[in-house]
Amino acid sequence: MERLQKVMAQAGVASRRKSEELIKQGRVKVNDETFTELGTKVSPQDRIEVDGVPLEREVPVYYLLYKPRGVISSVKDDRGRKVVTDYLPEVNERLFPIGRLDYDTSGLLLLTNDGSFANKLMHPRHKIDKVYIIKTRGLPQREHMKQLTKGMKVDGETLKAESANILSTDSKKNSAIVELTLHQGKNRQIRKMFDSLGVPVDKLKRERYGFLDLHGLNAGDFRPLKPHEVKQLRQLAEENVK
């Protein structure tokens, strides 16, 4: 059982707040009965109508995409740039990304039509490991890794990595490969942190999200999440939020 306004929002009728207004205005029926109370809960079997139009509820779907560089983490772009949903053209459900990866960042991105699931994963205290591989312009030092995990103030925000390790360095090319694990998800966080260290990011890729990885996928490929993976992600988010 889920709240009526939540089901309406998930079905794309309107935002949850606007759906609440529709309910209070008496414009919503459940099994031919008008409800104006916001606490009303419905099951998948209930028949819902808004202004006499039956509500079509989508089956929840969950996908993992290997996002290429040069793609917007959105469902549309007013500048005509490629967006992540362009890579799932045969999926009929209205998908949206869970979180985002910057335009120039590649890697693992989850998409769904399940708003409740997405909100759980994006909860500020979810503490799900997001592992990135970074190619730098310049040679970071061990002291830099300590700064990243200790936390740093950038543009008035405290940015922090859970772990940071230099995997390899190339003195001739003046570059290094760094593995970084985040729980935070601030806008352009990794690039800002490395810029503040004086070691800019050349390339950035998200390798893992929790227990999920990109094994067997090339840039632009996607696959549906398996039922046990969805269940594990729910459990992981719920455990970490407690």
Q: Which of 102, 104, 170, 221 is catalytic?
A: 102
53 beta partners: 50
102 given a catalytic annotation = yes
- Could you give phi then psi for residue 105, rounded to 5 degrees? -105, 135
- In whole angstroms, give the CA distance from residue 130 to residue 132: 7
Residue 234's nearest CA partner among 151, 135, 117 is 117
- In whole angstroms, give the CA distance from residue 110 to residue 12: 19
- Pairing state of beta strands 201-209 and 105-112? parallel
**CA distances (Å), origin 229, targets 49, 62, 151, 225:** 33, 10, 31, 6
**CA distances (Å), origin 97, targets 41, 73, 117, 150:** 27, 7, 11, 30
Give the residue numbers marked as catalytic.
102
